[in-house]
Structure 1
Amino acid sequence: MKRMNILVSSSRQWNPGDEFIRKGVERLLQNILGTDQNWLLWNRNPDLFIDRWIDRRMRTDFLTNSMRDPSLDVVDLVVFAGTPEWFGQPVERIYRCLLTHPDVPVLVLGAGSGTDMPQLAPYEVEVLDRSNVFITTRSPDLAECLNAQLSTPKAIPLPCPAFYSADESQGWVMRHRVGVIVQSSGAPNQSIGEELVQGLITELRKAEGRIELDIISLYIDEHMRFSRLGLKHPCMYSYEPDHFLAQFSKYSTIISTRLHGAIAGLSAGVPSILLAEENNFRLRSTQKPFNDFLPIHSVREAFGLAAETSAEQCRQKAMDLRSFRTNAFNDLKGRVKAFIADFMPEESA
């Protein structure tokens, strides 16, 4: 039997959030289709752009083990796995190729946006308007924006697929320990304000001897900075996203400045608190589909809650969270399964 070729647009060794989203998408599709597929990567790591932030078209002379050409003549399904780069220059060649391959179905799962809502190019509208395209967004605002540009509204706001990235079989850890996912002001395109960084460092120092916690860095730059601060808390880092997902399941609470760090924590069944600057539209709009399971607090409030909440209270929150995750996953699974049955009947048989 022919193995299915799935072209997924994501990034490797750049943004761990992208990798959490991709893992959630893979878990979803493998739950529907089984595990006998070939996963082909369209790698949106900015190191593969012609000129990073200026000319974000993909180079064709790179040597990493990912696709240099969309090659839709052998691709059975195209998947844009979330993040704001599901349209625009980094994926323009996929859209252009889809114009000449109208029978290839497309899943846009967990589409995101930056501060500004996207204005789609005519060739993007032509592709996304097709009946064999399924779209979910991670914010109601983006769904409304896209539906206003399409002839037939189809974008549905649902929790980001990173919510399904972790192994659901992990049990509850009775030990009350907090994971604090930190960030810095120095990582290009991935920074937060130094005022928030300093507030975080202050609370980490105050927590010494009061809260049992680990400092978690998703970027090597952040790990280097926080490792050199002389804090008594252990510092955790890995280049491999699976290591983070396994680590997250060991905590009773996660505090995170990173949106997809918090969502990956939720995927591990751990109650998570998001730290966000007041004007961070991206974080606040993505938080909405999670109802009350992804609260946003100030640094001081978050550390106060972590200190005051008991292990038993965390356990009860985790049970409610896991029920919400199961229901959300089954909802998305049902929608995607129906789409595949309509447009890929040979795969759903």
Structure 2
Amino acid sequence: MNIVFSTTRQWNPGDEFILMGCINLLQQYLGEFNPIIYNRNPQTRRARKYDIIKAIDKAAGKDLVEKFLDNSVKERPPMDYADMVVFAGSPEWRGRRMVKLYSSILEYDLPTIFLGLGTSGKFSFNDEHFTKEEQEVFKRASLITTRDTDTHDGLQPLETHQLPCPALLSSKSGRLVDKVKRIGLMYGTNDAVASNNVSSDTYQYMMNIYKKLLDDYGDEYEIEFVSHYIDELSHFRKDFGDQTVRYSYDAKDYLDIYNRYDLVIGYRVHGIGISASMGIPGIMLAHDRRAATVKGFLADMIAIDDPYEQVKETIDASIGNIVSRSRALAEHKEATQERYLTLLDRHLRIG
């Protein structure tokens, strides 16, 4: 089978963590298949309302100006090779960047499933928020799962199922954390590009908290930082030049990076998720409404305005209960996978 996954590549590693979980799940259910991506990376697939370059190409009937060379689903060639489409989570699962995918699903009547849809705001399933093509694809979908209440409610009256984000399934293996020896802190900055940055208030809060954590816990535990996006590396040297930061261009390397730690703390929802998949408990610095996703990873949450004393209490409690929390994650992951497999068996019809 040729399965097309809607995701991003070389943009936000979190999207690729979700993709890894979706692929693991479908391999468990279907066996071997060819994974193909519909790359929503904004550099690859632009979403301008008025795009002069695309207008010229469309009028000419061929690519005169813009050459789509990415190794993913292209704009002009037909998707006649596809056997199935999977929307692999992420808040961007409709809109201008998605037109080609929705139209191809309808043109070739492709079986479609939506796994772990999330959102950054409230919406309704109507003409105001969805095109006619998008609505038709959703109505035909074999299965729709959501990872938060806003998305579940917004898609009514469609049949949806609220489950933890598939990033919980991103690792094929896990371990029981029996003691905290090493802690991973997720680093971010307000100066990275949009969608990979944080607000100035969040950045200042993290800097304040992290510096205190280094003072209070640095002698007892080995503490390292994790960065997901290249823009953060230069700023990290200015903020914590004497500390270690782990980074990779390849999202799959984060399985090894996060597996170094026994507890992770930070603002990246899916950094918490990929860690949880390996049995490593997390504490989320909740800086926007998407943070609710980490409830599906059994993570603690700290609000950006929480005082340091409260943060420290949360960390101390996590360290003190690390074995039971890690064991609970393993059980939760197994139960979540079974729920997904049951839904696939009940709803997915191929061929």
TM-score normalised according to structure 2 size: 0.85
Letter in 2 for 1:331: R
CA deviations 1:93-126 (Å, max 9, x no partner) are 1111222222x20011111112242622111111
Pairing of 1:65-104 with structure 2 (within 5 A): 65-69=71-75, 71-102=78-109, 104=110
Letter in 1 for 2:201: E
Aligned partner of 1:145 in structure 2 is 154
Cα distance in 2 for residues equivalent to 1:269 and 1:138: 19
Cα distance in 2 for residues equivalent to 1:52 and 1:217: 29
The answer to whether the aligner puts 1:43 opposite 2:39 as a matched pair is yes
User: How many percent of aligned residue pairs carry the same amino acid?
Assistant: 30
Equivalent pairs counted in the alignment come to 327
Cα distance in 1 for residues equivalent to 2:309 and 2:73: 45
Superposed displacement of residue 86, structure 1: 1.3
The answer to whether the Cα contact below 8 Å between 1:255 and 1:302 also exists between their aligned partners in 2 is: no
> The residue matched to 2:115 in structure 1 has which SS?
strand
Cα distance in 1 for residues equivalent to 2:39 and 2:232: 23
Superposed displacement of residue 54, structure 1: 7.7
Cα distance in 2 for residues equivalent to 1:160 and 1:325: 11
The answer to whether the aligner puts 1:133 opposite 2:139 as a matched pair is no
Superposed displacement of residue 155, structure 1: 1.5
Cα distance in 2 for residues equivalent to 1:303 and 1:62: 47
Q: Which runs of 5+ in 2 are unaligned?
A: 55-62
Root-mean-square deviation over aligned CA pairs: 2.5
Which is further off, 296-305 or 257-266?
Answer: 296-305
The answer to whether the Cα contact below 8 Å between 2:174 and 2:279 also exists between their aligned partners in 1 is: no
Superposed displacement of residue 6, structure 1: 0.4
The answer to whether the Cα contact below 8 Å between 2:14 and 2:271 also exists between their aligned partners in 1 is: yes
Aligned partner of 2:230 in structure 1 is 220
CA deviations 1:281-322 (Å, max 9, x no partner) are 2223x34545xx122114635751465247562122100111
Cα distance in 2 for residues equivalent to 1:229 and 1:183: 11
The answer to whether the Cα contact below 8 Å between 2:47 and 2:97 also exists between their aligned partners in 1 is: no
The answer to whether the aligner puts 1:335 opposite 2:343 as a matched pair is yes
Q: 1:307 to 1:231 in 2, by over 3 A?
A: farther
Superposed displacement of residue 261, structure 1: 1.3
Q: Which runs of 5+ in 1 are unaligned?
A: none
Cα distance in 2 for residues equivalent to 1:128 and 1:306: 41
Superposed displacement of residue 140, structure 1: 1.9
Letter in 2 for 1:16: P
The answer to whether the Cα contact below 8 Å between 1:138 and 1:160 also exists between their aligned partners in 2 is: yes
The answer to whether the Cα contact below 8 Å between 2:176 and 2:327 also exists between their aligned partners in 1 is: no
Match of 2:312 among 297, 304, 326: 304
Superposed displacement of residue 275, structure 1: 0.6
Cα distance in 2 for residues equivalent to 1:200 and 1:113: 24
> The residue matched to 2:92 in structure 1 has which SS?
helix
Aligned partner of 2:189 in structure 1 is 184
Cα distance in 1 for residues equivalent to 2:103 and 2:318: 54
